[in-house]
Chains A and B, each alone.
Chain A
Amino acid sequence: MSVAAKAPLTRRVARWLDKRLGAADFARSALNKVFPDQWSFMLGELALYCFLILIVTGVYLTFFFHPSPTQVIYQGSYAPMRGVRVSEAYQSALDISFDVRAGLVMRQIHHWAALLFNAAIVVHLARVFFTGAFRRPREINWMIGVTLLILAVFNGFAGYSLLDDQLSGTGLRIAYSIALSIPVVGTWITSLLFGGEFPGADIIQRLYVIHILLLPALITVLLSAHLFLVVRHKHTQFAGPGREEFNVVGERMWPTYASKALGLFFLTAAVVCFLGGLVQINPIWVFGPFNPAEVSAASQPDWYMGWLDGALRIMPGWEIRAFGFEIPNPFFPGVLLATVTFVLLYLWPFLEARVTRDFAEHHIADRPRQRPVRTALGAATLSFYSVLFFGAASDVIASQFGLSVNAVLWTFRIAVFVLPPIVATFTYRLCKELCERDGVPIDSPVRFRDIGPRLLRRRESVV
C-alpha cells in the first residue's frame, strides 16, 4: 500500500468517529498536550503501570483460585505436602504454583508488582511532598493520592492473606487483634468482618471479594479522578528559562512523550517479569498451611506493613485499664499511630498553608533545599517510619548479628525518638548550605519555632 493510500484511512476513521463523538478538537488538544519532562515526574506513572500489571495477572489468578476454608487432603504434584490437611484456598494456591502452567510466574509477577506498586506510590508521595506539589490547587488530588496509598496497602494485605498459609494466617491474626483492640466497637467490627471469632469461617471468602472487587474498583475510580485532576491542573514544573507559574513547558504528548510513557510501561513490566520469573517470593509451600497453634520465628509481613509491625514490637507493654474496661496495647501502635499518620498526611497541605500563610496557587515545583523546614520535617518523618520498618526485623537482626533481642529492641525504642530530630537538624543545615553554595535564596523564611504559634493563631492576627 502506498503512503498516499494510507492517509485517507486515518482521515476516514477520524471522520467516522467524529461524526459520532464530536471529539476531534478534544482529541487534538490531547495529542498536543504538553508534559514537563523530568525523571521524578515518572514515579506516579510507575505506580499506574504496576496497577495495570496487577489487574492483568490478578484476573488470570482468579480463574484458578478457590477462596474456601474447607479442609481437604492435598493430592497435587508438590510431593512434600501430599497427604497434608489443607484448606481449599491453600490447595488452589499450591496448584497455581505447581500444576497450572505459567501459574507460578503469574503469581510471582502479581506479588512483585504489588510490592512495587506500593513502593512507587510511597516514592511518588515523597516527590510530591518535597517539591510542594500538593499546594493549591492540588490539595484535593493530594488527598485522593493519600487515599490511594491506604487502599493499595489494604489491598496488598488482603491479597497475601488469601492464601491461608502459615505466614499470612499469622498476619491475619495480628490484623484481627488490632481491630479487636478498638474501644467499644472492636469486638463488633471483628465479629462482623470475620463472621465470628478468629479465624472465622467467612474471612477468606470476604477478603477475596474485597481484594478482587471492592478495593480494585475503588482504586480504579480514584485513580481516574487522580489522573483527570493532573490533566485539569497541568503538571507542575521546576523553575527554568521560560518556565513560569502560568505556563507549562515540555514535550508534546504525541508522539515523543506518549512513546516514552509506553516504553516506561514495558520497562516496568520487564522488571516485574524478571523478578517474577527469577526471584522467588512468598513460597507458601515452605511456610505450610495455616495452623493457629503454630508460628515460626522471623515472621515478617510484606514491606509496606513493616512500619506497623515494627511499631507493634517497639511499643512497651503498656495499656490503659479503668473500671473494668481497657484500651489494649495494640491499639496504640496499630490503630492510633496509623490513624495519626494518615490524618496528618491528609491535612498536611492545609497545615503547611496555615503556617506559611501562603494560600496562593503554585505550579512551579519547589527545590527541596529552598524549603529547609519542610524538607527537614519530611526527612525526619521518613526516618521515624524507617526506624519502625527496621524494627519489624528486630528478631532477624538479633539472630543474624548474635545480639540480644532485648538490646536490639531497646535500640529501636530509643532510635525512634532520637533519630528524627537528628535527621531534621542535619537536613535543615544541609539545605541551608546547599542554598548558600548555589547562591539561591531560601524561599520560605519559616523557622521551626514559628510553627507552633502560627498553627495556633489565625491568619488575621499576624502582622
Chain B
Amino acid sequence: MPDVPRDARAGAETAAAVCFGLSTLAAIALAVVYWRGGNTQAEGGLLAVVTGGIGVGIIVWAKEAMPQDEVTEERPSVASSEEEVEAFAADFEAGKEELGRRRLLFGLAASAFAAFGAALLFPIRSLGPRPGKGLKTTPYANAPIRVVTEEGKPVTPSDLSVDGVITVWPEGYVDAPDAPTLLIHYREDQDFRPRPGRDDWTVDDIVAYSKLCTHVGCPVGLYQASSGLLLCPCHQSTFAALDGAQPIFGPAARALPQLPLGLNDHGELIARGDFSGPVGPGFWDRDR
C-alpha cells in the first residue's frame, strides 16, 4: 500500500478533527435553537454545518489519510456459458412439456387467470362518475339566471365602468369551477363585431365570455382595454374580445364561449342561456 506522506496525513487528520468538532458544536447549537423556539434560518444553517462538517471531515480523512491503493478486479462477461443457458432452457422446456400435455386444462387455467384479471379491473370504475354532459354544460343551463359577483351581489350595467372587467357567476353557483364569467364593458367607439346570430347577446356595450381558457383551462385574467384583447397569463393565449373572443395568438385554438346576456325587470344582468359552447379545455368529443 503506497503510504500517504506523514506530514500530509497529520495535517489532514487535524483538519478532519476540526470538522468533526465543529459539527458537534453545531449540533448542540441546533438543539439549543430548537429548544428556544426554533428559527428556520438558524436551523437550516446549523444543519448544514452539522452535516457539512461530517461530510468534509470524512472526505478529507478518506482522501488524505486512508489507503489509496488502486486494485484490479476481474470482470467476467455477464453472460453465462452456452451450456448453462442450454441447461436452463432444457429444464424449463421439460416443465413446459408437462403443462402442454394437458392442453385443455392449461387453456382453462389461462382463461380463468384472464377472467380474474379482467374482474379485478372493475373496481376501478368506482373511482369516478361516467364523464357525461357535465363537461358540456354549466349552471347557466338553469337560465334565465342572474349573474352575481363573488360576494353574491347582482350586477347592473352601471356597475361596470367603461373599459372595466369583472368576474361573475350564475346566482347560487359562485363555487362552480366551470362557471366564472368575464363581463367586459367595451367602449362605444370600439369596433365590436358580434358573431352571427349573437347580435342581441350584449347589453349596453357589455359582453360576457367564459373566463376559462380554451387551451388548458386557466382563468383568462388580463384585459388590455385599448386593443380589446384578453390574455391568458398561463400560456399567453390571446383572444379578441371585440371579435367573439377568437384566439389570435398563442396555443388556444378556440374562441372563448360567449354568454347571452339580458336584463331582468330590476335592470340587473341575467344570462338568457348557457354558453355558446363547452367551456374550458378541449376533449375528443366536445362537439358531439
Given contacts A266-B54, A325-B284, A329-B282, contact A296 B233 (CB under 8 A): yes
Interface size classification for chain B: 35 or more
Task: Please encode chain B, from 56 to 73, with 1 for each CB lying within 8 Å of some chain A CB and 0 for all others.
Answer: 111101110011111111
Q: Which residue on A lies nearest to B284, using beta carbons?
A: A183
A450 contacts chain B at the CB level, 8 A cutoff:
no
Q: Is the CB of B42 within 8 A of A330?
A: no
Show 23 residue pairs from A and B whose CB-CB distance is below 8 angstroms, ordered by the A residue.
A105-B44, A174-B216, A183-B284, A184-B284, A190-B131, A196-B129, A198-B177, A200-B128, A202-B127, A232-B78, A234-B75, A249-B72, A251-B69, A259-B66, A266-B52, A268-B55, A276-B47, A295-B218, A312-B216, A317-B251, A319-B254, A325-B288, A328-B283
Interface segment out of the listed B84-92, B94-102, B234-242: B234-242
Q: Is the CB of B55 within 8 A of A270?
A: yes
Given contacts A193-B127, A247-B72, A260-B59, contact A315 B251 (CB under 8 A): yes
- Chain A proximity of B279: nearest CB distance (Å): 11
B158 contacts chain A at the CB level, 8 A cutoff:
no
Could you say which residues of chain A place their CB within 8 Å of the CB of B131?
187-188, 190-191
- Chain B proximity of A130: nearest CB distance (Å): 22
Q: Which residue on A lies nearest to B73, using beta carbons?
A: A34
Q: Which residue on A lies nearest to B288, using beta carbons?
A: A324
Q: Is the CB of A361 within 8 A of B45?
A: no
- Chain A proximity of B113: nearest CB distance (Å): 23
Could you say which residues of chain A place their CB within 8 Å of the CB of B41?
277-278
| A-B residue pairs, 8 tightest by C-beta | A277-B44, A328-B282, A266-B55, A270-B52, A177-B216, A177-B281, A263-B59, A187-B131
B252 contacts chain A at the CB level, 8 A cutoff:
yes
Could you say which residues of chain B place their CB within 8 Å of the CB of A296?
221, 233
A27 contacts chain B at the CB level, 8 A cutoff:
no
What is the bound-complex CA distance between A361 and B76, given in angstroms? 11
Checking A108, A361, A406 against B78 with a beta-carbon cut-off of 8 angstroms, the contacting residue is: A361
Q: Is the CB of A177 within 8 A of B280?
A: yes
Q: Is the CB of A109 within 8 A of B281?
A: no
Q: Which residue on B lies nearest to A100, using beta carbons?
A: B38
Task: Please encode chain B, from 13 to 55, with 1 for each CB lying within 8 Å of some chain A CB and 0 for all others.
Answer: 0000000000000000000001001101111111111111011
A451 contacts chain B at the CB level, 8 A cutoff:
no
A124 contacts chain B at the CB level, 8 A cutoff:
no
A359 contacts chain B at the CB level, 8 A cutoff:
no
Q: Is the CB of B58 within 8 A of A292?
A: no
Could you say which residues of chain B place their CB within 8 Å of the CB of A151?
none
Could you say which residues of chain B place their CB within 8 Å of the CB of A321?
287
A192 contacts chain B at the CB level, 8 A cutoff:
yes
Checking B40, B247, B282 against A277 with a beta-carbon cut-off of 8 angstroms, the contacting residue is: B40
- Chain A proximity of B168: nearest CB distance (Å): 10
Chain B interface residues (CB < 8 Å from chain A) = 34, 37-38, 40-52, 54-59, 61-63, 66-79, 124-125, 127-131, 134-135, 150, 167, 169, 177-178, 180, 211, 215-219, 221-222, 231, 233-238, 247, 249-254, 280-288
A409 contacts chain B at the CB level, 8 A cutoff:
yes
- Tell me the chain A residues, 30-44 only, with Cβ under 8 Å from chain B: 32-34
List 17 additional A-B contacts (Cβ < 8 Å) besides A195-B129, A294-B221, A312-B216: A170-B218, A183-B284, A184-B284, A250-B70, A259-B66, A260-B62, A263-B59, A266-B54, A271-B48, A274-B47, A277-B40, A277-B41, A293-B150, A293-B180, A319-B282, A328-B282, A395-B233
A137 contacts chain B at the CB level, 8 A cutoff:
yes
A340 contacts chain B at the CB level, 8 A cutoff:
no
Q: Is the CB of B70 within 8 A of A292?
A: no
Given contacts A173-B218, A192-B124, A259-B66, contact A34 B44 (CB under 8 A): no
What is the bound-complex CA distance between A312 and B221, given in angstroms? 18
- Chain B proximity of A233: nearest CB distance (Å): 6
What is the bound-complex CA distance between A140 and B59, given in angstroms? 33
Q: Is the CB of A170 within 8 A of B234?
A: yes
Q: Which residue on B lies nearest to A178, using beta carbons?
A: B216
Could you say which residues of chain A place their CB within 8 Å of the CB of B79?
137, 361
Task: Please encode chain A, from 168 to 208, with 1 for each CB lying within 8 Å of some chain B CB and 0 for all others.
Answer: 00100110111011111011101111111111101000000
What is the bound-complex CA distance between A184 and B250, given in angstroms? 25
- Tell me the chain A residues, 214-271 only, with Cβ under 8 Å from chain B: 232-234, 242, 245-252, 255-256, 259-260, 262-271
In this complex, the member of B56, B57, B70 whose beta carbon has the largest number of chain A beta carbons within 10 angstroms is B70
Q: Which residue on B lies nearest to A243, using beta carbons?
A: B72
What is the bound-complex CA distance between A245 and B78, given in angstroms? 12
- Chain B proximity of A75: nearest CB distance (Å): 20
A326 contacts chain B at the CB level, 8 A cutoff:
yes
A386 contacts chain B at the CB level, 8 A cutoff:
no
Q: Is the CB of B51 within 8 A of A269?
A: yes
Q: Is the CB of A199 within 8 A of B177?
A: yes
What is the bound-complex CA distance between A108 and B215, given in angstroms? 32
Checking A170, A278, A316 against B251 with a beta-carbon cut-off of 8 angstroms, the contacting residue is: A316
What is the bound-complex CA distance between A314 and B237, given in angstroms? 10
A376 contacts chain B at the CB level, 8 A cutoff:
no
Could you say which residues of chain A place their CB within 8 Å of the CB of B286?
326, 328
- Chain B proximity of A48: nearest CB distance (Å): 15
Could you say which residues of chain A place their CB within 8 Å of the CB of B54?
263, 266
A153 contacts chain B at the CB level, 8 A cutoff:
no
- Tell me the chain A residues, 63-112 only, with Cβ under 8 Å from chain B: 101-102, 104-105, 108-109
Could you say which residues of chain A place their CB within 8 Å of the CB of B37?
101
A318 contacts chain B at the CB level, 8 A cutoff:
yes
What is the bound-complex CA distance between A409 and B261, given in angstroms? 35
Q: Which residue on A lies nearest to B46, using beta carbons?
A: A277
A405 contacts chain B at the CB level, 8 A cutoff:
yes
Could you say which residues of chain B place their CB within 8 Å of the CB of A330?
215-216, 251, 281-282
Q: Is the CB of B74 within 8 A of A247?
A: yes
Checking A108, A187, A200, A309 against B284 with a beta-carbon cut-off of 8 angstroms, the contacting residue is: A187
Given contacts A195-B128, A295-B219, A329-B282, contact A270 B51 (CB under 8 A): yes
Q: Is the CB of B74 within 8 A of A246?
A: yes
